[in-house]
Amino acid sequence: MMAMPRLGHANLGLGVGLRSTHYGHILKEQPAVDWFEVISENYMDSQGRPRYVIEQIAERYPLVMHGVSLSIGSTDPLDRTYLSRLKGLAQAVKPKWISDHICWTGVAGRNTHDLLPIPFTEANLKHVVDRVKVVQDILERPFVLENPSTYVTFRGSTMSEWEFTSRLAEEADCGLLLDVNNVYVSSFNHDLDPIEFIRSLPHERIVQFHLAGHSTYPTHLIDTHDNHVIDPVWELYRLAHELTGGVSTLLEWDARIPPFEVVHAEVLKAKRHMRGLEHHPDRVVPTAHDAPSSKIAADAPRPGHHPVGKVLPSDVPHPLHHLTAEVE
Amino acid sequence: MSKGDAQPAPDLSLVQRWFQAVITHPDGLAAGEAASAAEQILPEAPGASRIDDLIAPSSKLSPHERLSVYASAFHARLVECLGETFPILKRTLGEDVFAGFAMGYLQAYPSKSYTLNELGTQFPRYLGESRPPREGEVPDWADFLIELATLEWTIEQVFDGPGIERTPTLTAERLASIEPSKWPTLRLQTAPCLRLLAFAFPVNDYFSAMRQDETAALDMPSPRESWLAVTRRDYVVRRIDLTQAQFAVLSSLQGGAAVEEAIAAADAWLPADDAALAGMIRAWFEQWSATGLFVDVIEA
């Protein structure tokens, strides 16, 4: 049976990732944002202001829970305590769906707090599929997985990332969160074609898009979420929008976070690209080889563009999700 | 493993243990590779590199260069997170010295929690364990740094821990309505967010001065005992300076003592004159109940 577009889930419109620096503004101004995505780990154990804020926001806006610590690809046993608390938060704030990343975050009881890559093999696919099924049974809510930005590939991989991602979604019967910026970053880092990546996915399983900015080095890109979305990523978004028919779109901004209005305005730019699609249906979208050697580098210098092939202290890749205490 | 969990793929398990050991080693990828070989995690043949065996190059970067993105990110992310948790300690030490302590801590106490909010749990303890021996009895700079870290970690815990925002607190009026004859046997339930700290240095004064001027580089204060209550109201952490007597009374009450016992515990620092003592105690309890330090009173 053919799956329905977005697996039947609603298109929530254009949303913003909730960040603590914007709490005061959002509660006071109640801006006209279509929906919010929250980082699950920042709220599931909170008994303070974060928990209060998420409950207030859940009353006023549609909400999605996005996690960074499920570690679905790890060979450690699933963390039942984590899943129980995740489910508890979901019961309290009633998200439209719960998402995390196709990655592992640690092994042997440790957590690196990074989204680490998985070799794309048949055995590893089965491993992840089996775990997704368990997670879905526990959470009893729609579950969605995101393609992460990655910085290495494994010689032992026997399939492409898009084949692994597509088969994972099909075989585990879960949704996909297509991070368009991650497609761009990983494609540049691994000499892949971002268009082939997006075209190859099961589009009816894509229930959400992510957009974000990244940092550019001559030799690689880093997913820092600290800047505006660049034009080539908007071009890929245009393609993804066309192929899916439009799905819930969310902007993430996690470092050097500007005022809320700036973040909101950034995601609203998506409207232009939806309208643009109607006017330019045959528009050419970028390939991995376009960027950043020609298109982006031509724009240099610009914020986030670094002339050296080394990670700067300020360029901590996503995720860095720690809530700073408010003290008088 | 319970029914329904996937069996781990053995190959993936080894690759993950190797990957983690290599990218988290404080001395870099080569040291990480050597350490993982020493632990017999995917040991490499003589002259071969597991990094080259397992990781593919890109058109622009070698396997080592690509993997180093993860190694740099691991340390940068967690050191930054610790810096956000201990901002005044970081400024006191300077960025490089703080990063050195943070790196040592991450090796001694690697994160086992799913949340970064727990990353600093053992940091004050680690500073205590790694401090140089004290010369003599006088508290030294290491004691000061440990106390500063303790204050900042307490603030972090109080901010996101249980609080009194959604529960009624004991009002000054309710306390005043209790007959004086019953006071000695009263037990007061303290707020779940209340933490009581005793320091060998004026840590809270230093913390306030550093926050007041974000560019200040203050000298370490001389030792002087100080006492502090850390609590939370309206979801914001509050700091209340205490005298030694107040600290003793509140600590006893928090431990479950009755009012009379709590006052006896502070006897050494209280006035001998009964009238003066009664007035002082009354004023303290009015102030503490108005500040929300108590949630309930239990009459014997």
In a domain, B17, yes or no: yes
Question: Which among B130, B151, B185 is the end of a domain?
Answer: B130
- β-strands B55-56, B187-190 pairing: unpaired
- In this structure, are B270 and B195 located in the same domain? yes
Do B125 and B172 belong to one domain? no
B145, part of any domain: no
Residue of chain A with shortest Cα separation from B160: A48
| Together in a domain, B125 and B173 | no
Would the CB atoms of B16 and A107 count as touching at under 8 Å? yes
Chain A residue with minimum CA distance to B154? A325
> Which of B5, B78, B112 minimises the CB distance to A134?
B5
Residues 6+ apart with CB under 8 A from B278: none
Same domain, B40 and B100: yes
Contact A73, A79 (CB under 8 A): no
A210 backbone dihedrals φ, ψ, rounded to 5°:
-115, 145
Q: Which residue in B69, B159, B165 is closest to A151 by CB distance?
A: B69
Please indicate, yes or no, whether residues B172 and B291 belong to a single structural domain of this protein: yes
Minimum-distance CB partner of A154 among B55, B85, B159 = B55
Contact B239 A130 (CB under 8 A): no
Q: What is the ipTM of this complex?
A: 0.90
* Residues B182, B101 share a domain: no
Q: How many domains does chain B have?
A: 2
Q: For every one of its 300 residues, what pLDDT tens digit does chain B have, with 9 covering 90 and above?
A: 344 444 333 489 999 999 999 999 988 888 888 887 767 777 776 667 889 889 999 999 999 999 999 999 999 999 999 999 999 999 999 999 999 999 999 999 999 999 999 999 999 999 999 999 988 889 999 999 999 999 999 999 999 999 999 999 999 899 889 998 999 999 999 999 999 999 999 999 999 999 998 887 888 999 999 999 999 999 999 999 999 999 999 999 999 999 999 999 999 999 888 889 989 999 999 999 999 999 999 987
Q: Which CATH number belongs to the domain containing residue B275 in this structure? A: 3.90.930
Residues B198, B118 share a domain: no
Nearest to A219 among B9, B60, B73 (CB): B60
Q: Does B48 touch chain A (CB under 8 A)?
A: no
Q: For residue B251, what are the domain limits?
A: 165-298
Q: Which residues of A touch B117 (CB under 8 A)?
A: 41-42, 45, 322-323
Residue B176 and residue B69 in one domain: no
Instruction: Please judge whether B235 and A326 are an interchain contact, meaning their C-beta atoms are less than 8 angstroms apart.
Output: yes
Q: Show which of B103, B130, B157 is a domain's final residue.
A: B130
Do the Cβ atoms of B15 and A154 come within 8 Å?
yes
Report yes or no on B156 lying in a domain: no
Which chain B residues have a beta carbon less than 8 Å from that of A48?
159-161, 163, 232, 235
Shortest Cα–Cα distance, A201 to chain B (Å): 23
